[in-house]
Amino acid sequence: MSAPHVPVLLNEVVNALSPAPGQTVADGTFGAGGYTRAILATGASVIAFDRDPTVRRFAEGLAADRFRLVEGRFSEMDTVLGEASVDGLTLDIGVSSMQIDQAERGFSFMNDGPLDMRMSADGPTAADLVNTADPVELARILFVYGEERESRRIVRAIARRRAEQPFTRTLELAEFIEKALGGRRGAKIHPATRSFQGLRIAVNEELAELEAGLLAAEHVLKAGGRLAIVTFHSLEDRIVKGFLSVRAGRTPAGSRHAPPRAKGPAPSFDLLFNGAQGPTEAEVAANPRSRSAKLRAAVRTEAPVWREAA
């Protein structure tokens, strides 16, 4: 089955991974299989992971002798694959456009559907969180994960409403948040955008999953193996940037006001390039959702795995 969407920064990710025949690459976020197909086209083998059970249909027709799909979280890669087992690893962090476009998944505030937002088929839904979470915790989720400055105002309104009638639908919640904030008033983005982001990240434990996935990547990559990670939000990019900077030995040198940090273990990664790569103007024009995408990449050194989380 052909992929319904072109993956973001595809050429940049493949160039960073530099896959070759005889190599094995882990695709930690299989999705519709866009990265996997491009990697398989180079002659390399792929072991893909995804916790969304609906993506299995996109594995149809892929090279059976060089491809395997594991239904599970990418944070569990080290358990499945073992130490120093792959030559490359890629992660595309966050919700996919495929999931957003499926109204029944409950990710979109533009299409009506059940207030779900789960990437997997189990666990609490967004409706469970909105209707039962302690207001202080719910406000924290919207503020920290959604970067919503009006989180307390929104949650106060939600708490009053849910006491009489629980929220069950995406458009219902989106329209309620819009009214609670006084309408759009020329806003560039929908008033519910940040709240929906915060709920989605909390429901799927995305930041904890990313942190655990980075630790797993350090375990499963062979010396010389390449890591390529695409993020779409500052929260995720900050985690990736911080992890790679520390693991590459780029700790602050200190100043007259602050002493230098103690030297840590030998660097387990070397950065492939400084900073992050973004999409070209042509890609943004063809796919506006790629606008905020950032790619960071690194190469695994021969140094042992760090035994303590950075």
Residue 177 sits at the vertex; the CA angle it makes with 172 and 180, to the nearest 5 degrees, is 125
Query: What is the reported pTM?
Result: 0.89
Question: What pLDDT was estimated at residue 260?
Answer: 61
Residue 297 scores a pLDDT above 80:
yes
Q: Among 38-47, 58-67, 107-116, 247-256, name the one with the lowest average pLDDT.
A: 247-256
Q: Please write the tens of the pLDDT for every residue from 234-289.
A: 999 999 999 999 999 987 544 555 566 667 799 999 999 999 999 999 999 999 88
Question: What pLDDT was estimated at residue 250?
Answer: 87
Question: What pLDDT was estimated at residue 310?
Answer: 45
For the chain, residues classed under CATH 3.40.50.150 are: 1-54+68-93+230-248+277-299+306-310
Question: What pLDDT was estimated at residue 98?
Answer: 55
Q: State the Cα–Cα distance between residues 109 and 27, nearest whole angstrom.
A: 29
For 275, the 3-state DSSP assignment is coil
Q: State the Cα–Cα distance between residues 299 and 221, nearest whole angstrom.
A: 9
Residue 188 scores a pLDDT above 90:
no
For the chain, residues classed under CATH 1.10.150.170 are: 103-204
Residue 104 scores a pLDDT above 60:
no
Q: Among 92-96, 181-185, 225-229, name the one with the lowest average pLDDT.
A: 92-96
Average pLDDT over residues 109-125: 86
In the structure, what pLDDT confidence band is assigned to residue 210 with cuts at 50, 70 and 90? Answer: very high
Average pLDDT over residues 150-171: 96
Residue 191 scores a pLDDT above 80:
yes
Across all residues in the chain, what is the average pLDDT?
Answer: 90
Question: What pLDDT was estimated at residue 5?
Answer: 62
Domain 103-204 class in CATH? mainly alpha
Q: State the Cα–Cα distance between residues 165 and 275, nearest whole angstrom.
A: 48
Note whether 134 and 106 are within 8 A (CB): no
Domain made up of 1-54+68-93+230-248+277-299+306-310: CATH architecture? 3-Layer(aba) Sandwich (3.40)
